[in-house]
Amino acid sequence: MTNKEPRLTKKQKAILEAATNLFAEKGYAGTSTSEIATKADVAEGTIFKHFKSKKGLLLEVVSPMMVKWIAPMVKKDLNKVLDQEFEYIQDFIRAMIENRKEFIKNNLPMLKILVQEIHFHPELKEQFIEYVGKDIFEKLREIVKYYQAKGQLVDMKADIIIRTVASSILAYIVARYVFLPEINWDEEEIETERIIRLLESGVIRKNN
């Protein structure tokens, strides 16, 4: 099995770039192939020649992001956290928020597409689970058990704690950097501490 990827032509690159920008700006449903063709300066038929359909084009935009960037970055960050063994769960959460924030800033258009479309396209959800979910959940369970053993997390199923913490972090980051960047947010450190305070009223034990 080879790791070599097919070389893209200039037209394919132009189509993918145009689709990425338009999907991020207008959403998948709100973007037509004719608009993509116009922005890419190609004939509309060229899109179907190379990508078969608009859905095929969407998957070609998002899938490489999950395989090349999201999965490796998430795994790298979690390994970094495990290696550091933060004394307190609050410090672990601060580190994860910082890592995810920087990642989203650097990959905003494609991440916006993923967030907008993953609920509407089972193929994207399946790929996300395949490339990101399987290994990551096992490592997150290790982290939960580690902090439970230290008495810093409540006695609750690990998956419930993971969902609670992850949804709090992702809801803030996606709202701030993807959907509602124009809102007058407080400084990032203040927003992060608010998330931690909220979690301390649920899954984190205070006075560690």
pTM listed for this prediction: 0.67
Residue 50 scores a pLDDT above 70 = yes
Q: Please name the fold of domain 61-200.
A: Tetracycline Repressor; domain 2 (1.10.357)
Q: Name the percent of the chain in helix, strand, coil, to the closest 5.
A: 75, 0, 25
d(CA 26, CA 72): 28
Sign of the four-CA dihedral 187, 188, 191, 193: negative
198 contacts 191 by C-beta, under 8 angstroms:
no
- Could you say which of 2.130.10.10, 1.10.10.60, 2.70.170.10, 1.10.357.10 is the CATH number of the domain covering 1-52? 1.10.10.60
**pLDDT tens-digit profile of 5-36?**
457 788 888 998 899 889 888 888 999 999 99
Top-confidence range, 37-41, 59-63, 119-123, 137-141: 37-41
Q: Which of 13-22, 80-89, 113-122, 186-195 has the lowest mean pLDDT?
A: 80-89
Mean pLDDT of the chain: 82
The 8-class DSSP code of residue 107 comes to T
The rounded percent of the chain whose pLDDT value lies above 70 is: 86
Domain with CATH 1.10.357 in the chain: 61-200
